[in-house]
Amino acid sequence: MLALNETELNKNALRWIESIKKFTDPENVLVCDGSREEFAQIAGEMVRSGEFIELNKDHYPNSFIYRSDRTDVARSEERTFIAAPDSKMVGNLNNYMSLEQARDVWNRFFRNAYRGKTMYVIPYALGPLDSRFTDYGVEITDSKYVVLNLHYITRMGKQIMQKIPDRFVKGVHATGTLDPNSKYIIHLPWDKPEGVDADILSVNTNYGGNALLSKKCHALRIASVKARSEGWLAEHMLLLEVEDPRGRKIYITGAFPSASGKTNLSMINPPKHYADAGWKTRLLSDDISWMKIENGKLHATNPENGFFAVVPGTNHRTNRNAMLTLTKDTIFTNTGLTKTGEPWWEGLDPVDDQLYDWKGILRKPNGEPIAHPNSRFTSPLANYPFLSEKINDPDGVPVSAILFGGRRASLIPLVYEAFNWNHGVFMGATMGVEKTAASEGKVGELRRDPMAMRPFCGYNIADYFKHWIEVGQKLRYKPKIFYVNWFRRRADGSFIWPGFSENFRVIEWIIYRLDHNDNAVETPIGYIPEKINLEGLNLSTHDLEELFRIDREGWREEMRNIGEYFSHIGGIPEDLMREFEMEKRRLS
């Protein structure tokens, strides 16, 4: 850690840091250098203060458990705002805040917010170094937890410091009181009110995407606004490299709403018979992809440098690669803990002994979860066993296919292909999640989550759809777009499709379709596979029919529902309305 006068930050950055210091009145200011010594020092302080529990060094070297406040356990959509001169810029799917309100929050909660504390300054880069993809930011925080997480999920510290340009994304986070009713995560992508010099403000929270401002706040909400004005895409998408048996590498991105298997797909291993035939998979991103047009092609990169991913349900069967990733240099947030100092969560082998739950209570597992359902692991990408060689490539990788994933118990086939780019945009714009547990709201109720960006698009979603259409117009080589749905259920509620690594069978069909015109059947909603490799799967003929049946009456109902959703959003671009009208006509 460096004092302010020891850094290589430029004058502009230093002036900004001084102004935040003056307003928040910290005891001292430290600029993070990103070194292992710095990590060890802060982690040591947290262990001594009880904020971190050090895990068993033999099995989990340099790894810790952090327990968040019991009321601060997930990203808070209802407390997330976009501040703008005009609510139309923000649209109907975001929470709007006026610039005056943002200034009030700043004055009320940030003045003297760091009194008696250390103010940490974290210079970071999103994207590979020295690339036209890269965007720079500085997060200021009073949270050691934030500092250590950013050590892993961003490229940060000494070598970034000198590269911070005059204009960079400014984030200010203060832990505050953690009062849930005073929690604010505010974005200011356009004008700033007088006296507020920041793009992101976060206060009264210290959890995940609320406080790690590089992630959803910068890499998606602020970046999406930038992407629109500069002609690129900042997306909530995984990025996967698939190598076919001939050694050709294919790059696929995919947008999936929360809890729809995005992390699992980004870490997929081909099933044994595919691996034996020579198929390989490697990861580039589990969460966010930035895509820019290069020579008429869409090129993608991962702006992040690490994982902040859900743990419950992860085990050697469901996601072996995640298990291999989190066994060293990892921060666990809100998992359980065994008496021998290992993390534990639902989905791991049961234990007979008592365990500490995520609140730190020692007890036997009974109905109540031991790990919080949204508990997480933070690890550097470098821990991952099968990273793409292209992970730091300044040019990114050319994208051949884009997947949109829904979570629908009925209606939506296992996979289908869009007729063209605009039709694909229609598929992405209307994707959604059916609530299957009472805890998520009314069972069967549908939440549309366009391109999985509903909580992450920093501007009016109707304008975002228009932007997607325009990006398509600029592409000479358009990726093909597919919709996948791993979540079809039988009448008894069981899943039809086995999922996990078997999803690779669907990937194989998708890759085949990139080069061929056959092996597909045209339906009113798109192309479905004529044949897909189902060898060795336990599927009845009825199951199979269900996976690909086009229920026209159901689809007409879906179109009515989409009509309501589009009118709720308002201002849907003409090209998208045309796709909607054509789909309705094909179904009538």
In the complex, which residues of this chain contact ligand SAT (CB under 6 A)? 75, 208-209, 215-216, 258, 308
3-state secondary structure 150-197: HHHHCEECHHHHCCCCCCCEEEEEECCCCCHHHCEEEECCCCCCCCCC
Nearest CB to ligand SAT, comparing residues 199 and 287: 287
Q: Tell the smallest beta-carbon distance from residue 558 to ligand SAT (Å).
A: 26
Closer residue to ligand SAT (CB): 63 or 334: 334
Name the residue number minimizing CB distance to ligand SAT: 209
Least CB distance to ligand SAT at residue 77 (A)? 9
Question: How far apart are the C-alpha atoms of 160 and 164, rounded to whole Å?
Answer: 6
Q: Least distance in Å: CB of 308 to ligand SAT?
A: 5
How many Å apart are CA 184 and CA 511, to the nearest integer?
Answer: 43
Give all strands of the β-sheet with 52-54 in edge-to-edge order.
Answer: 52-54, 64-66, 331-333, 376-380, 306-310
Out of ligand SAT, Mn ion, none, what residue 208 binds, judged by CB under 5 to 8 A for its kind, is: ligand SAT
Residue 297 binds which entry of ligand SAT, Mn ion, none, with Cβ cut-offs from 5 to 8 Å by kind?
A: none
| Residue (287 or 575) nearer to Mn ion, CB | 287
Written as six digits, the tokens of 277 are: 């035939």
Reduced to 3 states, what is the DSSP secondary structure of residue 322?
helix
Tokens 């291993």 belong to which residue?
269
- Contacted entry of Mn ion, ligand SAT, none for residue 215, CB cut-off 5 to 8 Å set by kind: ligand SAT
CB of 426 to Mn ion, least distance (A): 23
Q: How far apart are CA 223 and CA 90, in angstroms?
A: 14
The distance of closest approach from Cβ of residue 74 to ligand SAT in the complex, given in angstroms and rounded to an integer, is 6
Indicate the residue among 287 and 575 with the shorter CB distance to ligand SAT. Answer: 287
Of 261, 549, 561, the C-alpha closest to 413 is 549
**To 10 degrees, what angle do helices 223-230 and 461-474 make?**
40
Residue 71, Cβ neighbours under 10 Å: how many? 13
* C-alpha distances in Å from residue 223, one per residue of 155, 169, 218, 519, 524: 17, 9, 6, 39, 35
Q: In terms of CB distance, is 144 or 216 closer to ligand SAT?
A: 216
Question: Cβ(126)–Cβ(226) under 8 Å?
Answer: no
Size of the site for Mn ion (CB under 5 A): 1
Query: Which positions from 235 through 294 interact with Mn ion, judged by CB under 5 A?
Result: 287
CB of 75 to ligand SAT, least distance (A): 4
Residue least distant from Mn ion (Cβ): 287
Q: Does 33 bind Mn ion (CB under 5 A)?
A: no
Residue matched to tokens 């490229």: 155
CA dist 368 and 354 (Å) reads: 13
Q: Which lies closer to Mn ion via its Cβ, residue 287 or residue 346?
A: 287
What is the Cα Rg of the chain in Å? Answer: 24
Q: Which is nearer to Mn ion, 55 or 452 (CB)?
A: 452
Distance CA 223, CA 217 (A): 8
Tokens 């327990």 appear where? Answer: 67
CB 20 within 8 A of CB 122: no
Nearest to residue 549, comparing CAs of 525, 519, 566? 525
Shortest separation between residue 256's beta carbon and Mn ion, angstroms: 9
Query: Of these partners, Mn ion, ligand SAT, none, which one is at the site of residue 75 (CB under 5 to 8 Å by kind)?
Result: ligand SAT
Q: Could you tell me the two tokens for 552?
A: 């026209």
The binder of 529, among Mn ion, ligand SAT, none, by C-beta within 5 to 8 A per type, is none
CA distances from 405 to 52, 116, 413 (A): 36, 47, 11
CA-closest candidate to residue 413, choices 558, 577, 277, 289 = 558
CA distance 422 to 199: 32
From the candidates 143, 260, 289, 375, give the one annotated as an active-site residue. 260
Judged by beta carbon distances under 5 to 8 A according to partner kind, the member of Mn ion, ligand SAT, none in contact with residue 209 is: ligand SAT
Name the DSSP class of 216.
Answer: I
| Active-site residue, 588 included | no
**Looking at the annotation, which residues are catalytic?**
260
Q: Which residues bind Mn ion (CB under 5 A)?
A: 287
